[in-house]
Amino acid sequence: MTQNRSWIPYLLILPTVVFLGLLFVVPLIQTLWLAVSDNGVPSLANMQTMVRDINFGRSILNTFLLTLAVVPIQIAMALAMGSMVSKVNGGRETILWIWTIPLGISDLAAGMVWLSILQNTGYLNTLLFSMGLIERQTAWLTYQTPVALFVGIAIAEIWRGTAIVMIIIVAGLNQVPKEFKEAAEIFGASPWTRFTRITLPLIRPALQSALILRTVLAFEVFAVVYALGGRNFPVLVGEAYNWQNQNQNYSVAAAYAVLIMVISLAATLFYLKVIKVDPERLP
Amino acid sequence: MKRLLSIAFLASTAIGFAGQAQSQTVFLSTQLRPIEEATAVREELLSGLERPVDYVVEEPPQFAVRMEAERQAGRHTISLVGALHGELSPLADKQMLEPLDDLAKKLVSAGMPQSLLDLGKLGKAEQQYIPWMQATYVMAANKDALQYLPEGADINKLDYDQLIAWGKKMEEATGAPQIGFPAGPKGLMARYFQGYFYPSFTGGVVRTFKNPDAVAGWEKLRELWTVVAPTSTNYDFMQEPLASGEVMVAWDHVARLKNAISASPDQYVVFPAPAGPKGRGYMPVVAGLAIPKGAPDKANATAIIEHLATPQVQLKTASLVGFFPTLNVQLPPDLDPGVALLAGAVTATQSAPDAMISLLPVGLGDKGGEFNKVYMDAFQRIILQNEPIDAVLKAQGETLTKLMADTKAPCWAPDAKSDGACQVE
């Protein structure tokens, strides 16, 4: 009976495969072709335009700097938050619920929230002024204050994106058997030793997923940066958007899209290689 | 039974929608998008027409995509489009617009200036669009700033040195730079360079891109930029920083200053942009109405154009949304005071003895965005990144030359006419 129905699993996954094929693979191939062709002829002209553009170097640098600054902080914070909440008994759900609020806010809305804090007439200046620390409106988000601008964007990104990392890590922490920790405690292992020798190795799969997801998302950062930095802080996706929307040159925008995809794939492969996961622990 | 009923219900709504879509003429516009303006169009400007009109708005990039999609699919839903000169130009390039010569003839006799109608030909033999509304760019200042105006300066006849002196005085008195420009990602700063800066300093836009006059102009702009608020690169609409008091003096499109000035007309003065050694450059903005080829309802679309081009509707448009008539009509005395202030500055600009008109680019097709980028990249490198002027203008000039050669666009005023593509000298 079951042998006769061997086609059923395929039938059941067919809709999703067709759906992704139509709405992902086809546009992907079209984008690739758009990036490496010029008037229907294979050409590297779009890539050259992209690389020679004045914002190309800056957008690569900014995107990587932001990723390098934001992702480690988010992983560390998520680990700390996850470990803390695991010790809490009453109100655990409420705490988790509050921590994940930023997850429910769209990127652009998060950017607007931070813009209302950091702009000239924003809450930060109001607070500093009322404390007597500044005499008049101070601009934080301009091309003349690159460090403040970077810190502002990084804080907004950390605020917005830590929740997703934390959820994955909390799920991983929940799977660590209590017995291991209890045994280590009996043998007199310090909390730090228990964390580095038991918890961290056991949550490797979760950590790997969190790192891949967060890093790929960091390379795709756009709306928060666009709201806060605008023209002053070019990033890769922002440049793709500008070429598509303002310059109306879809081919160079496609070249950027392909570059972002290559970087994301490279980062994913890097994590898969570096953070080895015991195959038995894979789901 | 229940299921059957719901299917019947769905079917009837679907039919209902289809029926509705057919009976309405779809008018797609990139202009008057904000909800208050769109409501004014739907309820006031388009009222009194025989057949219902579905006024739909779309941002310019999506507008281009939708028009292209309808062209490729060959299935047309849009009967009338309203868009800026530069947004209609790529459509005309692809032969997507119906010729409107009969309508144009009628409107000339109704008092529409021939020079304005000629813009609507977009460099072709036939009329591509009918000028619908016009606007331009002006400067606005909070009245508190007037006390710092340098002695002997007439606000309606400012030159760049006086603007710089004014800016310095304001900065000294208030402790922060008080002049603002819309150099943010969605701001119209590129138009400042094409319509104001380049004509005023060099008497051209493309030909004179890197000549010695241009170098001197950029040096002057560097001096001006020391008294310009650094947050300018975040500003898209100057009405917001003006109203919040972040800057006291600003340059922008009239429609992007209107909210601040209409909200408290007693608090502001509006005046022409400063003059440079070659004159007082200014750029008109023209929005046009066009009928796409294959439009399902040409007859009604023509009727709507005629309706929108009547003197009453043109005046109503001015007082409701702050765009000025394309017909030769007197603005009424009971105009919104903010709009009246803006209109006064527009008249002052146009009638200034040193006024130098910078026409809208013709023939750039879909390269308008990259054309803007040439000027904005020069701005970013020279002013924001402090790179040497000569080298930047040389590099950007090469990009501009290539762009003009690709599009084969001839020169437009104030540049002298060219035989072939306009070239950087």
Tens-place pLDDT, residues B382-422:
999 999 999 999 999 999 999 999 888 888 888 888 888 88
In Å, how far are A26, A199, A282, B302 from B100, measured between CA atoms? 40, 75, 68, 9
The answer to the question of residue A15 being in a domain is no
Tens-place pLDDT, residues B108-133:
888 888 888 888 888 888 999 999 99
Q: Which DSSP helix (H) or strand (E) runs through A178?
A: helix A178-186
Q: What's the pLDDT score for residue B221?
A: 95
Packing angle of the helix pair B368-379, B85-93 (nearest 10 deg): 130
Share of chain B above pLDDT 70, in %: 95
Residues of chain A in contact with residue B233, where contact means CB-CB under 8 angstroms, are 142-143, 230-232
Residue A145, exposed/middle/buried by CB under 10 A (0-12, 13-18, 19+)?
middle
Using alpha carbons, select from B176, B60, B207, B85 the residue that is nearest to residue B135.
Answer: B85
Tens-place pLDDT, residues A80-105:
999 888 888 888 889 999 998 888 88
Residue of B nearest to A145 (CA): B230
Q: How many C-beta atoms lie closer than 10 Å to residue B143's C-beta?
A: 12
| Predicted complex ipTM | 0.81
Residues 6 or more apart whose CB falls under 8 angstroms from that of B191 comprise B137, B253, B283
What is the pTM for the complete model shown? 0.83
Using alpha carbons, select from A89, A65, A206 the residue that is nearest to residue A149.
Answer: A65
Q: What's the pLDDT score for residue A120?
A: 84
Residues of chain B in contact with residue A136, where contact means CB-CB under 8 angstroms, are 174-176
- In the predicted structure, residue B19 carries a pLDDT above the cut 60: no
Q: How confident is the model at residue A256 (pLDDT cuts 50, 70, 90)?
A: very high
Q: What's the pLDDT score for residue A198?
A: 87
How many domains does chain A fold into?
A: 1
- What average pLDDT does chain B have? 88
Tens-place pLDDT, residues B310-361:
988 998 888 888 888 888 888 777 778 888 888 888 888 888 889 898 987 7
Q: What's the pLDDT score for residue B368?
A: 83
Q: What's the pLDDT score for residue B114?
A: 84
- Give the 3-state secondary structure of B215-259: HHHHHHHHHHHCCECHHHHHCCCCHHHHHHCCCCEEEEEHHHCHH
The answer to the question of residue A6 being in a domain is no
Cβ burial B107-120 (10 Å sphere, 16+ → b, else e): beeeebeeebbebb
Residue of B nearest to A141 (CA): B231
Residues of chain A in contact with residue B381, where contact means CB-CB under 8 angstroms, are 54
Q: How confident is the model at residue A278 (pLDDT cuts 50, 70, 90)?
A: low
Q: Which of residues 46-105 of A touch B (CB under 8 A)?
A: 54
Alpha helices of B24-97 — where are they, by DSSP H? Answer: 35-40, 60-73, 85-93
Q: What's the pLDDT score for residue A281?
A: 57
Residues of B with CB under 8 A from a CB of A: 61, 64, 174-176, 183-185, 229-231, 233-234, 241, 244-246, 366-370, 372-373, 377, 380-381, 384
CB within 8 Å: A142 and B234? yes
| Amino acid identity for residue A264 in this structure | S
Residues of chain B in contact with residue A125, where contact means CB-CB under 8 angstroms, are none
How many helices (DSSP H) and strands (DSSP E) are in chain B? Answer: 17, 12
Residue of A nearest to B244 (CA): A121
Q: What's the pLDDT score for residue B12?
A: 46
CB within 8 Å: A143 and B384? yes
Which of A226, A231, A248 is nearest residue B233 as measured by Cβ atoms?
Answer: A231
Rounded Cα gap, residues A122 and A196, in angstroms:
42
Q: How confident is the model at residue B18 (pLDDT cuts 50, 70, 90)?
A: very low
- In the predicted structure, residue A3 carries a pLDDT above the cut 70: no
Residues of chain B in contact with residue A245, where contact means CB-CB under 8 angstroms, are 61
The answer to the question of residue A20 being in a domain is no
User: Which span out of A52-66, A183-197, B23-37 was modeled with the highest average pLDDT?
Assistant: A52-66
The answer to the question of residue A230 being in a domain is yes
* pLDDT, greater one: A1 or A173: A173
**Cis link prior to B414 (omega < 30° from 0)?**
yes
Domains by residue range for chain B, with CATH = 2-135+285-335 (3.40.190.10), 137-283+357-407 (3.40.190.10)
Place of tokens 């570059």: A259
Q: What's the pLDDT score for residue B21?
A: 46
| Amino acid identity for residue B223 in this structure | E
Tens-place pLDDT, residues A32-86:
999 999 888 898 999 999 999 999 999 999 999 999 999 999 999 999 999 888 8
HSE at residue B363, side-chain half, CA atoms within 13 A, is 17
Tens-place pLDDT, residues B198-229:
999 999 999 999 999 999 999 999 999 999 99
Tell whether A281 lies on the interface with B, counting CB pairs under 8 A: no
CATH number reported for the structural domain that contains residue A162 in this entry? 1.10.3720.10
Rounded Cα gap, residues B366 and B208, in angstroms:
23
- In the predicted structure, residue A236 carries a pLDDT above the cut 70: yes
Cβ burial B233-268 (10 Å sphere, 16+ → b, else e): bbbbbbbbbbbeebbbbbbbbbbbbbbbbbeebeeb
* Pairing of the two strands B53-57 and B25-29: parallel
Q: How far is B175 from chain A (nearest CA, A)?
A: 8
The CA dihedral of B129, B134, B135, B136, to the nearest 10 degrees, is 60
Rounded Cα gap, residues A178 and A161, in angstroms:
29
Q: How far is B13 from chain A (nearest CA, A)?
A: 28
Q: How confident is the model at residue B13 (pLDDT cuts 50, 70, 90)?
A: very low
CB within 8 Å: A137 and B372? no
Q: How confident is the model at residue B15 (pLDDT cuts 50, 70, 90)?
A: very low
CB within 8 Å: B246 and A121? yes
Q: How confident is the model at residue B23 (pLDDT cuts 50, 70, 90)?
A: low
Rounded Cα gap, residues A203 and B15, in angstroms:
56
The CA dihedral of B319, B321, B324, B328, to the nearest 10 degrees, is -50
Q: What's the pLDDT score for residue A4?
A: 67
- In the predicted structure, residue A137 carries a pLDDT above the cut 90: no
Determine the average pLDDT of the residues in A232-256.
91
Q: What's the pLDDT score for residue B3?
A: 52
- The rounded Cα B97 to chain-centroid distance in angstroms is 21
Rounded Cα gap, residues B205 and B218, in angstroms:
13
- What average pLDDT does chain A have? 89
Q: Which DSSP helix (H) or strand (E) runs through B114?
A: helix B114-119
Tell whether A142 lies on the interface with B, counting CB pairs under 8 A: yes
The answer to the question of residue A159 being in a domain is yes
CB within 8 Å: B230 and A143? yes
Tell whether A39 lies on the interface with B, counting CB pairs under 8 A: no
Residues of chain A in contact with residue B380, where contact means CB-CB under 8 angstroms, are 54, 231
Rounded Cα gap, residues B317 and A152, in angstroms:
42
Q: What's the pLDDT score for residue B278?
A: 93
CB within 8 Å: A139 and B381? no
Q: How confident is the model at residue A280 (pLDDT cuts 50, 70, 90)?
A: low
Rounded Cα gap, residues A32 and A259, in angstroms:
10
A221 lies in which domain range? 54-281
Rounded Cα gap, residues B12 and B10, in angstroms:
5
Share of chain B above pLDDT 90, in %: 56
Q: How far is A72 from chain B (nearest CA, A)?
A: 29
In Å, how far are A53, A60, A119, A259, B280 from A256, measured between CA atoms? 11, 11, 30, 5, 40
Tell whether A205 lies on the interface with B, counting CB pairs under 8 A: no
Q: How confident is the model at residue A225 (pLDDT cuts 50, 70, 90)?
A: very high
